[in-house]
Structure formats: C-alpha cells, structure tokens
Amino acid sequence: MKRAMRINPDDNTATALNDIEAGETISLVSKSGPVGEMTAKQAAPFGHKLAVTDIKKGEKILKYGEVIGLATQPIGKGYHVHTHNVESALLPGAKEVK
C-alpha cells in the first residue's frame, strides 16, 4: 500500500512517500506509526502533499504543525495540494498569515 506522512497531528496535509495515483488507498503514517487511511482523489508525485481533510478557500495549509500557505480554492480530502491551489506563506513577498 502507498503511504503518506502526516508529520504533525494538526496538519491538514500529508506528504506522499511514493508516487501516488488517483484512486489508490493511502496509508497515513506518523513518526509513531499508522494514523489512518484515505483514498487519493488525484495523483501526487513523491514529496508532494495531499489534503487529509477538506480545506476551504482562504484556509491555512498546515505542514509540520506550521502554516505554509493559504488555499486559493477549495481542496477536497484526497486532492493534490501544490502551487496550483496554494499561495505560499513562506516565500518573499507572500501575504502575512494571521
């Protein structure tokens, strides 16, 4: 089974540990072990993020327990989270996230 790492329990994303195809069942893991399963709705390459919850437009994107960006559109659980639907909170010139 393919896997994705949910680094912090507060994260609304998990990082793909393999190339993941749409429709595959993903095992969500953390440092302490398995934390659940979900179905990928879109493909995500190794190292990219998938939403582990539904994320509303404008909602904070969390990885490492930290805000890394804002959703520029709604992102459903299991969908690829990347530059096409997230505005960075980390790059120079990024909006300040409150």
User: What is the structure's pLDDT at 86?
Assistant: 95
Q: What is the DSSP string of 3-67?
A: EEE--STT-SEEEESS-B-TT-EEEEEETTEEEEEEE-SS-B-TT-EEESS-B-TTPEEEETTEE
Of the two residues 44 and 88, the one the predictor is more confident about is 44
Q: Each residue of 42-63: pLDDT tens digit?
A: 999 999 999 999 999 999 999 9
Task: Give the global pTM.
Answer: 0.89
Q: Each residue of 16-41: pLDDT tens digit?
A: 999 999 999 999 999 999 999 999 99
Q: Give me the chain's average pLDDT, please.
A: 93
Domains of the chain with CATH codes? 2-88 (2.30.130.110)
